[in-house]
Amino acid sequence: MCGIIGYIGHRQAREVILNGLKRLEYRGYDSAGIAVIQDGLGLYKKRGKVHDLELLIQDLELNATSGIGHTRWATHGVPSDVNAHPHTDSQSSFALIHNGIIENYDVLREDLEKKGHTFHSETDTEVLAHLIEEIQKMGSLGFYEAVQQALLQVDGTYGIAVVHEEYPDQIIVARMGSPLLIGIGEDEFFVASDASPIVGYTQKVVYLEDEEIAVITRDGYEVSTLKNVPHTKEVHELALSLEQIEKGGFPHFMLKEIFEQGDTISDCMRGRVILNENRIQLGGLDGYVDKLLKARRIIIAACGTSWHAGLVGEYLFEYLAHIPVEVEYASEFRYREQLIDENDVMIVISQSGETADTLAALREAKKRGALVIGICNVVGSTIARETHAGVYTHAGPEIGVASTKAFTAQVTVLAMMALLLGKENRTLSEESMKELLSELDSIPEKVNEILKDTSEIERIASLFTYAPNFLYLGRSYNFPVALEGALKLKEISYIHAEGYPAAEMKHGPIALIDEHMPVVVIAATDHTNEKIVSNIEEVNARKGRVISITSNGQSSVNRLAEFSVTIPETHDCLTPLLTSIPLQLLSYYIAVNRKCDVDQPRNLAKSVTVE
């Protein structure tokens, strides 16, 4: 979703900002813009890629050492040059960039129009710029005070950065519901919506909290609340390195991230799977395990791929620890009758740690007294900070918009949590624990085995590149994998795909099956194998094209399926960690064949910070 970068210091602002915007591209966007202060305000914006903006300004003589830049993902108003950020006041004396949504923008706009303001864009952001102008004019206030007052009048969410031509040595930033951090360098400062654009310049950051506003100058920064209470901020050290966010020789971030999964699953388990003591150690849950065991139920809330990981978690918690689990779309949960209280535990799962709906579900559950535990990838993200306790996935930065390594890391964390609780709850014998821990420990090696030879998946992808529809079927632990496989294909190749529990096929999707319909059948769990074999027969009887994902030993499936991708065997409950990999690759190769923008698929955003 929209991205923010700002700079003030001694370097050429244009370079820092363009580099930053390129690093923000992964969030998903449709236009980009930049404002610098150099003999007045210089403002340049363009629909399209950051590269288009770069071409627009490449011949300009820009010597500014401060400025702001933005990638926009349209919410109010179509993607266009004029709707791109930054936006300005009527005199174009200041420029503002904004992530989030000003919910009362229409009321404010009507009022401002009556007062003579003319708007050029359809955005909510431009309303904020004019509101600041109006307040400054009417109240004879300083610019900073006017920004402060304007923010007190808006409803909704924002992360903003503002530069003013009369104050070339300052950037004003503020946050409400949309992440923002200040990077601290040597005589230079950065502002960004996440750490990726500033890595390589500095590792020191402070995270702004909701309702905080800051003035950044060349000499330092001051943070206070919107109501002027000064705040001293803790400086954090980023664990992110430059290499981690570069492609490392792969043509796309997504492929790099798929291939990293042997390592990321290992990183996720490091120091947590203690084989010689036959136990799981999750420091982030210290002091909370009892509450989890006594929970009336666990509610898992998440969105997108993280929701699919949550569904796998439901099977794992119920099977290994006998704890009842409900999995909710965070966006639905927050608007339902709230029957959650202190007897329940909520687990929120989020790669970015910033998804607006997941954050809202978390806050709702917390307000009603439930213990809230987070499973996040981005260290220091809002969700990670607001939960009572949590477990990081440690998958490293995920740049490809379609989530891959974050999913397998989330499932790994959920498996570790379920094993920990199963052992404590005595629903797992020492013997079973031992077997499962050693299976879990061998998963990275098995992932690497799948990744060693991708030729069969590439061949299947080339045969089905132009299929208009796909059906994905799975049972039990692999039903959520079917959903995830279908989502991956939709996201990056724009092919219509649906995931179904295999037995549900008879209740509708079977009507779609003919000789043109590829049906991906995930048949890797022993205890549902016979049933899945019948499902394959049913597809074959209607001339559907079965592509099966099976474990080595499942010869009956391999015999019946037109195409088979075999994966190493593991315990049934851990199969999603393996079956998801060929499905990620299948969607990747199909999208590449279709010449789609794999890392930045149209209309999608990496981190959905609006509701």
Catalytic, out of 46, 423, 490, 606: 606
Q: Could you give the CA distance from residue 580 to residue 473 in angstroms, rounded to a whole number?
A: 13
Using CB under 6 A, which residues numbered 423 to 442 contact ligand G6P? none
Using CB under 6 A, which residues numbered 469 to 498 contact ligand G6P? none
Using CB under 6 A, which residues numbered 196 to 235 contact ligand G6P? none
Q: 202, 358, 550, 554: which one contacts ligand G6P (CB under 6 A)?
A: 358
Residue 608 within binding range of ligand G6P, rule CB under 6 A: yes
* Stretch of 205-213, 287-295, 431-439, 600-608 lying at the interface with ligand G6P (CB under 6 A): 600-608
Nearer to ligand G6P, 125 or 355 (CB): 355
Residue pair 557/224 in contact by the 8 Å Cβ criterion:
no
Nearer to ligand G6P, 125 or 410 (CB): 410
Residue nearest to ligand G6P (CB): 304
Q: 350, 525, 575, 587: which one contacts ligand G6P (CB under 6 A)?
A: 350
Nearer to ligand G6P, 73 or 143 (CB): 73
Q: What are phi and psi of 363, to 5 degrees?
A: -65, -40
Q: 403, 454, 493, 528: which one contacts ligand G6P (CB under 6 A)?
A: 403
Q: Could you give the CA distance from residue 247 to residue 212 in angstroms, rounded to a whole number?
A: 35
Nearer to ligand G6P, 517 or 605 (CB): 605
Residue 71 within binding range of ligand G6P, rule CB under 6 A: no
- Report in angstroms how near the CB of residue 329 gets to ligand G6P at its nearest: 10
The total number of residues written for the chain in this structure: 611
Alpha helix (H) residue ranges in 330-404:
330-333, 356-367, 382-386
* Stretch of 155-163, 350-358, 387-395, 576-584 lying at the interface with ligand G6P (CB under 6 A): 350-358
Catalytic, 227? Answer no
Nearer to ligand G6P, 240 or 510 (CB): 240
Contacts of residue 484, Cβ cutoff 8 Å, sequence gap at least 6: 305, 308, 407, 499, 580, 583
Residue 99 within binding range of ligand G6P, rule CB under 6 A: no
Residue pair 324/347 in contact by the 8 Å Cβ criterion:
no
What are the angstrom distances between the C-alpha of 199 and each of 5, 183, 219, 531, 605?
12, 9, 20, 51, 21
Catalytic, out of 2, 268, 376, 596: 2
Residue 303 within binding range of ligand G6P, rule CB under 6 A: yes
- Report in angstroms how near the CB of residue 521 gets to ligand G6P at its nearest: 24
Catalytic, 2? Answer yes
As a three-state string, the secondary structure of 525-554 is: CHHHHHHHHHHHHHHHHCCCEEEEEEECCC
The half-sphere exposure of 333 on its side-chain side, counting CA atoms within 13 A, is 26
Q: Is the peptide bond before 86 cis (omega within 30 degrees of 0)?
A: yes
Q: Give exposure, 387-401, as e/b (b: 16+ Cβ within 10 Å).
A: bbbbbbbbbbbbbbb
Q: 117, 604, 609, 610: which one contacts ligand G6P (CB under 6 A)?
A: 604
Nearer to ligand G6P, 204 or 366 (CB): 366
Q: 401, 520, 533, 561: which one contacts ligand G6P (CB under 6 A)?
A: 401
Q: 99, 170, 193, 355: which one contacts ligand G6P (CB under 6 A)?
A: 355
How many other C-beta atoms lie within 10 A of the C-beta of residue 141? 16
* Stretch of 36-44, 89-97, 565-573, 602-610 lying at the interface with ligand G6P (CB under 6 A): 602-610
Q: Give exposure, 46-69, as e/b (b: 16+ Cβ within 10 Å).
A: bbbbbeebbebeeeeebebbbbbb
Nearest to 21 by CA among 200, 171, 240, 197: 197
Nearer to ligand G6P, 127 or 483 (CB): 483
- Report in angstroms how near the CB of residue 393 gets to ligand G6P at its nearest: 10
Nearer to ligand G6P, 454 or 607 (CB): 607
Nearest to 260 by CA among 87, 448, 101, 92: 448
Contacts of residue 287, Cβ cutoff 8 Å, sequence gap at least 6: 389
Nearer to ligand G6P, 188 or 354 (CB): 354
How many binding residues for ligand G6P (CB under 6 A)?
A: 16
Q: 607, 609, 610, 611: which one contacts ligand G6P (CB under 6 A)?
A: 607
Q: Could you give the CA distance from residue 480 to residue 437 in angstroms, rounded to a whole number?
A: 22
Q: 31, 123, 352, 584: which one contacts ligand G6P (CB under 6 A)?
A: 352
* Stretch of 246-254, 299-307, 523-531, 578-586 lying at the interface with ligand G6P (CB under 6 A): 299-307
In the chain, what is the straight-line distance between the N-terminal and C-terminal CA atoms, in Å?
12
Residue pair 397/196 in contact by the 8 Å Cβ criterion:
yes
Residue 609 within binding range of ligand G6P, rule CB under 6 A: no
Strand partners, 102: 156
Q: Which residue's entry shows tokens 């004029």? A: 82
Q: Residues interacting with ligand G6P, by CB under 6 A? A: 303-306, 350-352, 355, 358, 401-403, 604, 606-608
Residues known to be catalytic: 2, 606
